[in-house]
Amino acid sequence: FYDPNCNGKQVMVHLFEWKWTDIAAECERYLAGAGYCGVQVSPPMEHVILAENNYPWWQRYQPVSYKLYSRSGNEDEFIDMVHRCNSVGVRIYVDAVVNHMTPTGVSGVADGGSTYNTNGHARDFPGVPYSAEHFTPRHKCPSGDGTVDDYSNPSNVRNCYLYGLTDLNGKLDYVREKVVGYFNQLIQIGVAGIRIDAAKYMWPEDISATLSRLTDLPTDQGFPAGSKFYVFQEVIDQNDGAIKVDEYYNTGYVTEFRYCSKIAWGIKDYGQLSNLIDYGWGMARSDRAFIFTDNHDNQRGHGGGGNVITHESPRDYKQAVAYTLAQDYGFTRIMSSYYFTNTDQGPPSNGGYSTADVIINGDGSCGGGWVCEHRWNVMKKMVEFRNAVVGTSMENYWNNGNAVAFSRGNKGFFAMAKQGSMSESLQTGLPAGSYCNIIDDCASSIQVGADGTAQISINNYEEPILAVCAGGCG
Ligand code: LM2
Ligand code: CA
């Protein structure tokens, strides 16, 4: 569960709320050439449709069945996307919502035609099918009203209803079989892995039992024989409760949300970058940490929110992503957002429920309300850098509180200046020679002497970053 199955590439992008047709096109026209490992897609299963809330993005976290029918498209479009992305070497990772189904007290018909009814004691999801006996019994939940309300008690977190969402009983063989069926269908199509939504609210042994029944990835989709599903588990551990990231190491990577706060602090106060990764604070070990500067929840104050930097402060955000990709901790994901004014607001739409196409402008940026951080110059260049220096560690670390620099073995060197400029003679760890800065397309360069030192100069307010690679990054 630890190999993302993308040939050693190091960065995935979350194309939040994109349609399958747009993602297929993006794999072919951009992501393959830019060196992205793959795409995290929004939940593909059938979900409720909340017209009364103006179709919020979070309706997709209220499953109705495991049919591949969602706001992003139907099953044929999903399969076409996976196949087209795989054929250009870009993998698809599914956001898997299997802790729960819809909230209590609702009924209706979802878009794929499946009905649901959770009024009173009913828990009817005939599209799976699930019924009342498949949900966690009330007596297993130690909270007063049946919802999660005590993070100091694992039974409360894992057996109660998160926000009142009907909680699947992952102890049951029947429930495990249904989830296995969903995952094996994804695998058979050629999906390379999953994000497990709300993993913190599931018992690690239930996740483990489910994953142990998965088949290998299909060789006809370009996976070497014996390849396993890549798994990263959403566990929000901010040292604020009983559940710790290390409980989930046996079943894959874990999201490291403390990294979001740390990088935000580090960009505000460069001195803090020197102790970005704080194991004393409980941060996950590097080969289990799944990291990002911000995600679809905390960029809009959901999922615990927090002090994070987002595309709304572009200059700081570029530095945060650049540093994240330059350093050697964890497996990295880049967020790709849409603009919003309201934290519940769904994606750009053609009016109502229909998601608008992503517009690609002549200069390669996006329009129509889509931000496309993954197409920004700094992000694209730093993906190349991270891929080029894979396997090396950070060395020659230097930080004076206003600028920071380090080498990645003898393969790369990175520097960044908070105020936009720096000039300093530093050890680069690189062989003697001339190296050009990929960030400004070689407008600036450094000359490394026989002793490995070079004068490192940055003069660029908007993108105050220097990244060079031995033999070129791209
Ligand atoms: C997560 N973590 O484990 C995400 O961090 C979190 O953002 C997800 O909630 C959650 N799992 C469930 O998959 C999102 C959203 C919530 C939303 C839920 C369900 O952040 O705001 O809750 O999806 O759609 C919504 C309403 C909430 C209501 C709930 C149930 O916002 O007010 O609670 O539905 O009706 C009564
Ligand atoms: Ca649960």
- Which amino acid is present at 281? W
* Cα gap 388→348, rounded to integer Å: 35
* CB neighbours of residue 29 within 10 Å: 12
Q: Catalytic residue at 75?
A: no
Termini Cα distance of the chain: 28
Query: How many helices, marked H, and strands, marked E, lie in the chain?
Result: 9, 22
In ligand 1, the atom with minimum distance to the C-alpha of 106 is 35
Which residue has 């519940």 as its token pair?
344
- Residue of the nearest CA to atom 5 in ligand 1? 303
State which of 47, 54, 58 you would mutate to test the pocket of ligand 1, scoring each by most atoms of that ligand within 8 A of its C-beta: 58
Tens-of-pLDDT digits for all 474 residues of the chain? 999 999 999 999 999 999 999 999 999 999 999 999 999 999 999 999 999 999 999 999 999 999 999 999 999 999 999 999 999 999 999 999 999 999 999 999 998 999 999 999 999 999 999 999 999 999 999 999 999 999 999 999 999 999 999 999 999 999 999 999 999 999 999 999 999 999 999 999 999 999 999 999 999 999 999 999 999 999 999 999 999 999 999 999 999 999 999 999 999 999 999 999 999 999 999 999 999 999 999 999 998 888 999 999 999 999 999 999 999 999 999 999 999 999 999 999 999 899 999 999 999 999 999 999 999 999 999 999 999 999 999 999 999 999 999 999 999 999 999 999 999 999 999 999 999 999 999 999 999 999 999 999 999 999 999 999 999 998
Question: How far, in Å, from the CA of 42 to the mean position of ligand 1?
Answer: 14
Q: What is the ipTM of this complex?
A: 0.97
In ligand 1, the atom with minimum distance to the C-alpha of 234 is 3
- Residue of the nearest CA to atom 35 in ligand 1? 103
Looking from the CA of 301 toward its CB, the CA atoms found within 13 Å total 6
Confirm or reject: Cβ of 50 under 6 Å from ligand 1. Answer: no
Question: How far, in Å, from the CA of 449 to the mean position of ligand 1?
Answer: 56
Q: Catalytic residue at 133?
A: no
Confirm or reject: Cβ of 257 under 6 Å from ligand 1. Answer: no
Which of the following is catalytic: 22, 26, 95, 234? 234
Q: Which ligand is nearest to the CA of 198?
A: 1
Question: How far, in Å, from the CA of 152 to the mean position of ligand 2?
Answer: 15
3-state SS assignment for residue 133 = helix
Which residue has 């992952």 as its token pair?
170
Q: Which ligand is nearest to the CA of 202?
A: 2
pTM of the shown model? 0.98
3-state SS assignment for residue 474 = coil
- Residue of the nearest CA to atom 34 in ligand 1? 163
DSSP β-ladder status, 412-417 and 465-469: antiparallel
Which of the following is catalytic: 17, 95, 197, 206? 197
CB 116 within 8 A of CB 104: no
Question: How far, in Å, from the CA of 52 to the mean position of ligand 1?
Answer: 16
